[in-house]
């Protein structure tokens, strides 16, 4: 490794470990790269595979044409064809699998904006997650050079680490110390693996648990906790505690929340039926509607609510709902009959 590569690697590593936001680290990386590889414009973006588009994290220079291309569905299709949505070495405009004159990117966006050369690379983590893209643009068609390409290739992995949100997400997940399984919920409602924790049947894409998690997020909850029947446990069997942590934050990608599975907490003596009723109480249902849904009398519902207040030493129905919501001592209506 030559001196230039060592210096650039050290600078990018320092940026990756600094306590900063993803956007701030991305901007610092562009500043560092700009000193090592001359260019007129550069951008680091994240890819949303569900929308099939890229969104900028940081940029330098006049990149409006580049961003217009990258944020289009047509642009993402072409980038996939070129290979930039796969882990490959950096590609200069002269390294493309087809002449630049045959691409939409160059003919409709970059040449009209005054650019003559480029280099791009997908940013992939060691476990294969695609966390972003780097693009650098020059007015001079003779740049970037092969040496520039090799220099950027030497720090691609470190750049991916710097803009990887999973470090922050895993840190948040560790706050639920008894979690035994987990998944990432995307903006489209899909479940993805959460590095460091196994998957679970209740967290499969399309599951009632993920639907409930999405509803809590839609209601504005940054954190939510509730109970769910364990798979195959039957109407009176084991329960699981589900924790939902909103992870959108500064993220501009498709990740929406962390959903974690833990053993059931101390239920404070509450019965399965009382937990079901608390789910309806938190949802704002009146007693007669709860009674009809659970095939009970309104008096039986009222008695269960009063007993729950007694078990939790609470003075009112409102305080009961607040406590149940805060501690997750409830079976949401959509999960009451799930087995």
92-108 confidence digits (pLDDT tens): 999 999 999 999 999 99
CA–CA distance, 252 with 240 (Å, rounded to integer): 31
- Long-range contact set of residues 265-274: C-beta below 8 Å, sequence gap at least 24: 265/241, 265/327, 265/328, 265/329, 267/239, 267/329, 268/311, 268/312, 268/329, 269/311, 270/308, 270/311, 270/312, 270/329, 271/304, 272/235, 272/236, 272/239, 272/331, 273/304, 274/304, 274/307, 274/308, 274/311
Query: Which domains, from first to last, does the chain contain?
Result: 3-163 (3.30.450.40), 165-265 (3.30.450), 267-339 (1.10.10.10)
35-64 confidence digits (pLDDT tens): 999 999 999 998 888 887 788 899 999 999
DSSP string, 276-337: HHHHHHHTT--HHHHHHHHT--HHHHHHHHHHHHHHTT-SSHHHHHHHHHHHT----GGGTT
So what's the pLDDT on residue 7?
86
Q: b vs e for 310-319, b when ≥16 Cβ sit within 10 Å of the residue's Cβ?
A: ebbebeeeee
Nearest to 308 by CA among 280, 274, 333, 285: 274
230-274 confidence digits (pLDDT tens): 987 655 679 999 999 999 876 678 999 999 999 999 999 999 999
In terms of pTM, does the model score above 0.85?
A: yes
């Amino acid at each position: 490794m030559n001196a230039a590569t060592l210096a650039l690697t050290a600078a990018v590593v320092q940026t990756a470990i600094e306590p900063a936001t993803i956007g701030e680290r991305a901007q610092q990386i562009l500043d560092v790269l700009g000193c090592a590889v001359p260019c007129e414009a550069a951008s680091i973006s994240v890819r949303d595979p569900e929308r099939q588009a890229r969104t900028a994290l940081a940029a330098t220079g006049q990149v409006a044409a580049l961003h217009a291309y990258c944020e289009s569905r047509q642009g993402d299709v072409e980038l996939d064809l070129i290979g930039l949505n796969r882990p490959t070495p950096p590609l200069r405009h002269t390294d493309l699998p087809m002449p630049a004159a045959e691409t939409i990117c160059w003919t409709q966006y970059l040449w009209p904006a005054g650019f003559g050369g480029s280099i791009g690379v997908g940013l992939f983590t060691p476990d294969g997650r695609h966390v972003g893209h780097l693009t650098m643009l020059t007015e001079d068609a003779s740049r970037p050079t092969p040496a520039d390409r090799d220099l950027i290739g030497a720090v691609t992995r470190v750049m991916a680490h710097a803009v990887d949100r999973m470090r922050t997400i895993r840190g948040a997940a560790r706050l639920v110390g008894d979690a035994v399984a987990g998944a990432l919920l995307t903006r489209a409602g899909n479940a993805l693996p959460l590095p460091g924790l196994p998957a679970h049947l209740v967290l499969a894409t399309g599951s009632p648990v993920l639907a409930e998690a999405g509803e809590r997020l839609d209601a504005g909850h940054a954190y939510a906790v509730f109970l769910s029947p364990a798979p195959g446990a039957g109407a009176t069997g084991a329960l699981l505690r589900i924790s939902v942590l909103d992870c959108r934050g500064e993220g501009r990608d498709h990740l929406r929340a962390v959903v974690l599975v833990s053993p059931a907490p101390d239920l404070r003596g509450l019965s399965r039926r009382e937990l079901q009723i608390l789910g309806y109480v938190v949802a704002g249902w009146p007693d007669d509607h709860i009674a009809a849904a659970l095939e009970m009398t309104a008096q039986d519902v009222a008695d269960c609510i009063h007993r729950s207040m007694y078990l939790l030493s609470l003075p009112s129905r409102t305080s009961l709902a607040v406590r149940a919501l805060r501690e997750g001592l409830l079976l949401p209506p959509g999960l009451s009959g799930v087995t």
